[in-house]
Amino acid sequence: MTVRIRKSIVLSQLSITPLIDIVFLLLIFFLVASRFAEEDRELDVTLPSASEAQPLVLKSKEIFINIDAEGKTYIGGTATNKEGVENALRQAVANNPAHQKVIIRADENCRHKHVVTVMNLCNQAKVVDYVVTTRPTDK
């Protein structure tokens, strides 16, 4: 005995007109929204001045400060002393006053005073976003 399967009437009458309408409306929405965004940038506005304004001079870039086991400090792979670290931090803060990030990577065998010295230099240079990194422990 064979089983007969009749095709559903619903599938034969499926209309994609509402789907096309929705896609068309989304297309119009994104075209109009992008045009408004362009007009905001093209508007000729004279900005007011503020005494505490801090312009973004360069694109913010993280500074990696490495400290080896002997306590030597490296920035960008180049060995530097305390004054070199301080100058590099001050220059970075001058370029990006509000958003400069410093990552301190210290060897696990270095003395704690070297890490504290770099953290203190960050505070003196007005860097508020600095972290001391660690590696995850093996479980």
Residue 88: name the closest of 127, 52, 53 by CA.
Answer: 127
Q: How many CA atoms lie within 13 A of 35 on its CB side?
A: 6
With vertex at residue 123, the alpha carbon angle to CA 88 and CA 79, rounded to the nearest 5 degrees, is: 35
**pLDDT per position as a tens digit, 126-139:** 888 888 887 766 65
- SS3 state of residue 13: coil
Class of domain 63-132: alpha beta
pLDDT in tens, 84-119: 999 999 998 888 877 889 989 888 888 889 989 999
pTM: 0.57
Given the structure tokens 């007011």, which residue do they identify?
48
